[in-house]
Structure 1
Amino acid sequence: MTEEQKQPEIIDQNPEINTSDGPVDINDSGAESTEATEESTVDESQSTEANLEIEDDGTNSPENEEIFAAFQQENANLKKLLDEKSEQAELTKAQYTRLAADFENFRRRTTKEKENLEVQAKKNVITDLLPVVDNFERARTQLKPETEGEKAIHGSYQGVYKTLVDCLKKMGVSAMRPEGEEFDPNFHEAMLREQTDEYPEGTVIEQLMRGYVLGDTILRHAMVKVAVPKEPVITSEEKKTEQDQQENENTES
């Protein structure tokens, strides 16, 4: 028998799906399909729940708890390290501020000491030169040149004197001019006192030796003569009367 002869027999054995005999009833097949779909959905939801249970079980596992605890410990260690570094930074900042203040004070103190040292060095040198200036001034007032040779010599050493005075002025040295001023013990030294009514008491009459200052520093006090009031003159009669009064007082006592 050939294959073409066998085919109708197969169709006849399944009349429900044979399209040649009439309409086919598909209600049964659709119901079966819906039931299959519902079953597959239930299976998928069950599998999803199972997966969630597996994931939950994995999250709460001891290994994950150990990892989480390790992270927490590491976080605490890092926080502690950060606090230590912050404290160290604040301490370093405070030390830097203190060192900067100390350095500024040191710089100011060094500058002040340097200035004082320069002034003291100038003072020492100029003080040693002041007697030379005094000698030139005495020579100018005491010597009276008469001949041409004497005048030439006088002009020569006066030129040296002028050069020396100019150098001292450039260094900041100035001479005192106390005549007619009130006596000041900070600048003057009283060598003589003269009784006079021409000047008020305590007035500088004459400068015996010139005083010098270097800025605000006194190089040498000016030696001066100071005016004092005259004492009252007692005549012989007033003196005799005073003696008689003293004798009477002694007799009564």
Structure 2
Amino acid sequence: MSTQQNEQQLEKNIETPEVESTDDTSVTVETETVAETTANPPTDGTIEEEVETGVSTSSQEESPEATITALTEQLEALQNKLQEQAQQYDLLKNSHIRLTAEFDNYRKRTAKEKQDLETQVKCRTIGELLSVVDNFERARNSINPSNDGEAIIHKSYQGVYKNLVDSLKRLGVSPMRPEGQPFDPLYHEAMLREYTDEYPEGTVIEELMRGYMLGDQVLRHAMVKVAAEKPTESPEETESSSPDETNSGE
């Protein structure tokens, strides 16, 4: 019986090997540790986290530089565009100033040409009327009415003369008064010279025909008589004349 019991006990030992309790505990602890590690991976010390941290740090370091570079390029582009706009503005401004100056010169030139044309037309028209004025003045100086009828006629045409002179004054016509003034070829025309000591040489003594002005323009030059200095006798002429007078007295 003892032998059979021993054999049964050996069979049981072979079928279910005994495991030490310490080994089972260590295996269980290691299994739990692996499971926890798999479920909650450690946050520091791993290679993947170091790589990701380096990449994010490098991207954060490069991001401001890229932004500054982009802004600098954009600023340069805007400055170039502003410079082009400024150049275009200067061109348009200079063109406007030039056109304004040309138009102003054209306006002034046209106004002056118009004024000169009006003055020329006035001069031609009034020049034809000056002879009529001269005839009225001659009639006034030469005719002396002897009776009432002649006086009435004389007064009537002198009234016409006065109206004509007033109309010429309204147009800007004024007579010259050259007596006593120095001779000026721009306004006077010398017809006669008179030797005299009463006036300085070159002074207008008398107006032979009246001259007229239209503003600053000469309508007709005044015909005048100009004073000239008397010639002085030379000593030779005085000596030559004295013997003759002596001979004639003998």
Q: TM-score range by the shorter chain?
A: 0.5 to 0.7
* 1:183 shift after superposition: 1.9
Within 1, Cα distance between the matches of 2:231 and 2:145?
43
| Residue 214 of structure 1: aligned partner | 214
Equivalent residue letter for 1:134: D
Matches within 5 A, 1:66-215: 81-215=81-215
Q: How many Å separate the matches in 2 of 1:219 and 1:170?
A: 15
Report deviation, 1:87. Answer: 2.5
Query: Would the alpha carbon gap of residues 224 and 72 (structure 1) be closer, same or farther in structure 2, given more than 3 Å must change?
Result: closer
Query: How much does 1:49 deviate?
Result: 5.2
CA distance in 2, matches of 1:154, 1:47: 135
**Distance of 2:173 and 2:116 partners within structure 1:** 16
SS of the residue corresponding to residue 178 of structure 2 reads: coil
Relative to structure 1, the CA distance from residue 85 to residue 199 in structure 2 (aligned partners, 3 Å threshold; closer, same or farther) is closer
| Closer/same/farther in 2, CA of residues 232 and 50 from structure 1, 3 Å limit | closer
SS at match of 2:202: coil
Change (3 A) 1:43 1:231: closer
CA deviation string 1:160-209 (max 9, x = no partner): 11011111111221111112222222211111122333333222221110
Secondary structure, aligned partner of 1:121: helix
* Structure 1 residues 240 and 81, CA gap change in structure 2 (3 angstroms): same
- Work out the CA distance in 1 between the residues paired with 2:101 and 2:149: 68
State the secondary structure of the residue aligned to 1:189. Answer: strand
Aligned twin of 2:16: none
Number of aligned residues? 202
* Residues 1:77 and 1:198: Cα distance change in structure 2 (over 3 Å): closer
> For the residues of structure 2 that align with 1:227 and 1:206, how far apart are their CA atoms?
9
1:53 to 52, 55, 58: 55
Amino acid across the alignment from 1:41? T
Shift in Å, 1:84? 3.5
Structure 1: 5+ residue stretches without partners: 1-27, 243-253
The whole-number CA distance in structure 1 between the counterparts of 2:122 and 2:201 is 36
Compared CA separation, residues 192 and 48, structure 1 to 2 (3 A): same
TM-score normalized by structure 2? 0.64
Instruction: Output the amino acid matched with 1:167.
Output: S
Alignment of 1:220-239 (within 5 A): 220-231=220-231, 238-239=240-241
Corresponding residue for 1:23? none
TM-fit CA distance, 1:110: 2.3
Determine helix, strand or coil for the equivalent of 1:180. Answer: coil
| Per-residue Cα deviation, 1:132-165 (whole angstroms, up to 9, x for no partner) | 1101000101111112221111111101110111
The TM-score, its normalising length taken from structure 1, stands at 0.63
Report the CA distance between 1:128 and its aligned residue.
1.4
> What amino acid sits opposite 1:109 in the alignment?
R
Q: In 2 relative to 1, CA 132–51 (structure 1 residues): closer, same or farther, beyond 3 Å?
A: same
Identity of aligned residues (%): 50
Question: Could you say what the CA RMSD is over the residues aligned between the two structures, in angstroms?
Answer: 4.1
Deviation at 1:42, TM superposition (A): 3.4
> Judging changes above 3 Å, is the alpha-carbon distance between structure 1 residues 45 and 143 closer, same or farther for their aligned structure 2 residues?
farther
> What 5-or-longer segments of structure 2 have no aligned partner?
1-28, 245-250
Query: What per-residue deviation string (whole Å, max 9, x for no partner) do you get for residues 84-130 of structure 1?
Result: 44322222222112212222222222222232222222222211111
For 2:162 and 2:124, how far apart are their aligned partners in 1? 21
